[in-house]
């Protein structure tokens, strides 16, 4: 190996574990700052989950600021980070890559309505910047290098090596490491516990991961009767009989209970309360357009207008057939329409969830750089952190924000390490 090649090897070298949404963003940002970037991805290609988002259309961000859009044990961390890299920054970034956004009620999609276009644009940008992507490289462990080994490597020409990354086939030494392994949510290959395990091995605390944005399994009626119904409704989640969350929208009634956006949104609170052993139930309002007070009058007028109709017939035109059969079988039909109350047995499993709540404790992370406060040279991004967003593009926005902040800072940090090889590589 020539001296020049050795010098080239000393260029700031950032490793990213995971070529998902936040990992690709981090790799692009670090490379744009001039770092040499290598991405290690367990799957055979980048962005498998990203390609499945938004029903294949990729709702990549949201123009509407919803106060409760993000949840986690450290709200100010999330706020600070999103302020440092905002929705406007995201839109500009993707427009520069060539994405033409299309809006639906504040939700932004690529105009192609193909999530794969977002993956392709990010992939193309990584190629343009010379990012090395190594696929089918499943990272098994990361070890912090001891001082003696670091010095050995420095003598061999490496700038400042902090980590040894072990995959099934190879070992890599990294100055700076970005953990972008995602969460346990979904059945898409690459979703699992690796990120939590690796972060823990590097000194981080993990809030117990639980499913969020997941359907609810209910107790109480034969759900096969209403399976397949889609209808507008309002859900009130009750924890120990106290209202904890309310959502309105299209409900999808299933043979195990309930799905659709409103059910998914309240599910994170249900999952947490069930995990704490609390009683959880859901009250369904199948006619939110009519208030509870107006309901008796509404029903009376309907009966008076058609005195020859029975209960089932009076419901025709208001609800789909299958739902009528369930509602008409209840003793008090008005009560069933306005407050159909059922116990939540459980949420569906991680493999049915879109995201996870819990993850790496963000009190151990710097919100402006995603730098670990526990392990020098380490950065963490995306869903691996204890940050979960509601439906509507908020989770991908988090991936873009955390990926950007981590990628930039990791590049700057390794640049400092290169300029001052004798000093520790933490700014």
> Under the rule (CB under 6 A), what is the footprint of ligand FAD?
17-23, 40-43, 48-50, 52-54, 58-59, 138-139, 180-182, 185-186, 190, 194-195, 354-355, 382-384, 393-396, 399
> At its nearest, how many Å lie between ligand FAD and the CB of residue 250?
16
Q: Helix, strand or coil for residue 128? A: helix
Of the pair 159, 178, the CB lying nearest ligand FAD is at: 178
> At its nearest, how many Å lie between ligand FAD and the CB of residue 402?
8
DSSP codes of every residue in 93-108: HHHHHT--EEEETTEE
> At its nearest, how many Å lie between ligand FAD and the CB of residue 256?
18
Of the pair 177, 355, the CB lying nearest ligand FAD is at: 355
- For the chain, the maximum distance between any two Cα atoms, rounded to a whole number of angstroms, is 96
Of the pair 167, 330, the CB lying nearest ligand FAD is at: 167
Of the pair 17, 237, the CB lying nearest ligand FAD is at: 17
> At its nearest, how many Å lie between ligand FAD and the CB of residue 206?
15
Residue carrying the six token digits 């057939």: 321
Of the pair 59, 369, the CB lying nearest ligand FAD is at: 59
Of the pair 52, 246, the CB lying nearest ligand FAD is at: 52
> At its nearest, how many Å lie between ligand FAD and the CB of residue 140?
7
> At its nearest, how many Å lie between ligand FAD and the CB of residue 243?
27
Let me know: does 142 contact 163? Beta carbons within 8 Å: yes
DSSP codes of every residue in 353-420: -SEEEEEE-GGGB-TTT-BBSSSTTEEE-GGGBS-EE-TTTHHHHHHHHHHHHHHHHHHHHHHHHHHS
Whose CB is nearest to ligand FAD? 20
Q: Alpha-carbon distance 193 to 383, whole Å?
A: 12
> At its nearest, how many Å lie between ligand FAD and the CB of residue 368?
19
Q: Alpha-carbon distance 159 to 416, whole Å?
A: 10
For the record, the structure tokens of 356 come out as 């996870």
Give the Cα-Cα-Cα angle 108, 110, 114 (nearest 5 degrees). Answer: 125
DSSP state of 352: G
Nearby residues of 103 by Cβ (< 8 Å), 6 or more positions away: 63, 109
Half-sphere exposure of 36 (CA within 13 A, CB side): 11
104 Cα distance to chain centroid: 20
Of the pair 24, 239, the CB lying nearest ligand FAD is at: 24
Of the pair 185, 229, the CB lying nearest ligand FAD is at: 185
Q: Alpha-carbon distance 217 to 348, whole Å?
A: 6
Q: Alpha-carbon distance 393 to 60, whole Å?
A: 5
> At its nearest, how many Å lie between ligand FAD and the CB of residue 142?
9
> At its nearest, how many Å lie between ligand FAD and the CB of residue 17?
5
Let me know: does 373 contact 203? Beta carbons within 8 Å: no
Of the pair 149, 197, the CB lying nearest ligand FAD is at: 197
For the record, the structure tokens of 155 come out as 């003598």
Of the pair 81, 327, the CB lying nearest ligand FAD is at: 81
- Helix or strand run (H / E) with residue 7: helix 3-9
Which residues partner with 342 through β-bridges? 282
> At its nearest, how many Å lie between ligand FAD and the CB of residue 188?
6
By CB atoms closer than 10 A (0-12, 13-18, 19+), residue 204 is buried
């Amino acid at each position: 190996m020539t001296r020049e090649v050795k010098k080239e090897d000393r260029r700031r070298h950032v490793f990213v574990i995971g070529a998902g949404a936040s990992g690709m963003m981090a790799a692009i940002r670090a490379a744009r700052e001039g770092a040499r970037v290598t991405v290690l991805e367990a799957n055979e290609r980048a962005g498998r989950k990203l390609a499945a988002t938004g029903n294949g259309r990729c709702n990549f961000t949201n123009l509407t600021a919803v106060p409760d859009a993000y949840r986690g044990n450290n709200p100010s961390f999330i706020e600070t980070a999103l302020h440092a890299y905002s929705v406007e920054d995201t839109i500009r970034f993707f427009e520069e890559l060539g994405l033409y956004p299309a809006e639906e009620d504040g939700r932004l999609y690529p105009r192609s309505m193909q999530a794969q276009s977002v993956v392709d644009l990010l992939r193309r940008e990584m190629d343009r910047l010379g990012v090395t992507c190594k696929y089918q490289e499943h990272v098994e462990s990361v070890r912090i290098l001891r001082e003696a080994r670091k010095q050995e490597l420095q003598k061999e020409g490496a700038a400042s090596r902090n980590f040894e990354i072990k995959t099934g086939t190879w070992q890599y030494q990294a100055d700076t490491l970005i953990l972008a392994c995602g969460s346990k949510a979904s059945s898409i290959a690459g979703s699992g516990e690796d990120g939590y395990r690796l972060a823990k091995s590097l000194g981080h605390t993990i809030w117990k991961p639980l499913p969020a944005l997941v359907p609810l399994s209910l107790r109480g009626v034969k759900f096969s009767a209403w399976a397949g119904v889609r209808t507008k409704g309002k859900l009130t989640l009750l924890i120990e009989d106290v209202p904890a969350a309310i959502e309105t929208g299209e409900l999808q009634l299933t043979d195990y209970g309930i799905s659709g956006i409103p059910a998914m949104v309240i599910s994170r609170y249900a999952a947490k309360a069930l995990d704490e052993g609390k009683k959880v139930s859901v009250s369904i309002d199948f006619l939110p357009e009519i208030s509870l007070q107006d309901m008796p009058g509404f029903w009376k007028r309907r009966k008076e207008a058609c005195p020859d109709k029975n209960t089932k017939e009076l419901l025709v035109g208001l609800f789909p057939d299958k739902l009528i059969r369930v509602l008409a079988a209840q003793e008090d039909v008005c009560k069933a329409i306005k407050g159909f109350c059922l116990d939540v047995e459980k949420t569906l499993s991680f493999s049915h969830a879109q995201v996870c709540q819990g993850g790496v404790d963000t009190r151990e992370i710097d919100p402006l750089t995603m730098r670990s406060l526990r392990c020098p040279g380490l950065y963490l991004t995306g869903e691996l952190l204890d940050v979960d967003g509601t439906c509507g593009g908020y989770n991908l926005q988090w991936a873009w924000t955390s990926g950007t902040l981590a990628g930039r800072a990791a590049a700057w940090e390794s640049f400092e390490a290169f300029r001052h090889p004798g000093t520790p590589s933490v700014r």
